[in-house]
């Protein structure tokens, strides 16, 4: 997969941060082709439903496993 020449960053509705296109393509909610993600129009590539879908995958954030020493 080739990155866009300008390393365009697209806003993520799930995390609230901006990521390069290739990160969106690895997201479980993003399904569109590179060109769709680069457009920034979430209706063309993102199935995330704010308030309904989980934003964290894996261990619960309040679990011991994520504690730092």
The reported pTM is 0.64
What pLDDT is stored for residue 50 in this prediction?
Answer: 87
Is the pLDDT confidence value at 6 over 50?
yes
What pLDDT is stored for residue 60 in this prediction?
Answer: 61
Q: What is the pLDDT of residues 7-38, one digit of tens each?
A: 789 999 988 999 999 998 888 899 989 999 99
Element (H, E) at 21: helix 21-26
R_g of the chain computed on alpha carbons = 14
What pLDDT is stored for residue 59 in this prediction?
Answer: 59
Is the pLDDT confidence value at 69 over 90?
no
Is the pLDDT confidence value at 67 over 80?
no
Domain ranges of the chain: 7-49
Q: Helix %, strand %, coil % for the chain, to 5? A: 25, 10, 60
């Amino acid at each position: 997969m080739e990155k866009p020449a300008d390393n365009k960053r697209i806003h993520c509705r799930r995390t609230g941060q901006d990521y390069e296109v290739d990160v969106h393509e690895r997201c479980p909610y993003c399904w569109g082709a590179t060109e769709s993600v680069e457009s920034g129009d979430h209706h063309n590539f993102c199935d995330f439903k704010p308030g309904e879908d989980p934003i964290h995958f894996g261990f619960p954030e309040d679990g011991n496993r994520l504690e730092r020493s």
